[in-house]
Amino acid sequence: MKLADASKLLKDRGYKNTPKRYDMLEYIFRQNKYVTARDIQLALKDKYKGLSFDTIYRNLTTFVDVDVVEVTELDGEKRFRSKCASAEHHHHFICLDCGNTKSIHGCPMENIPVDLPGYKVQSHKFEIYGLCPDCNVNL
């Protein structure tokens, strides 16, 4: 998903395109990784003095609800990234050091129905965690 598409979708759903909301969304979309609310606060602290975690989390919740941002949890902390541009079903490798992500094509769920006869899977989330090549070299 592109930033302009995300911004339009928010507007279409009745959310105002405030400068603060747009800047938060833009920051998330510029990253190729999951970011924390703290990352967003640090990135925007000079422009928006006193930007609170409440404001950031309220906007992040809106972004997730409108489906323009994805959320995961690492080390007990929620992290956010822009919604993938690919409409194709896929999953992610997430670097535990730098937070960069890489798409993984294919899905382990293809084999699950064999193990769950009679069950109806309604949703799933599959993520692989480790170190990317850059972080692995820097050990």
Assign residue 22 a region (left: φ > 0; alpha: ψ between -120 and 50; beta: otherwise).
Answer: alpha
Residues 6+ apart with CB under 8 A from 117: none
Q: Which residues are annotated as a binding site for Fe cation?
A: 89, 110, 124
Q: Which residues are annotated as a binding site for Zn(2+)?
A: 95, 98, 132, 135
Q: Which residues are annotated as a binding site?
A: 89, 95, 98, 110, 124, 132, 135
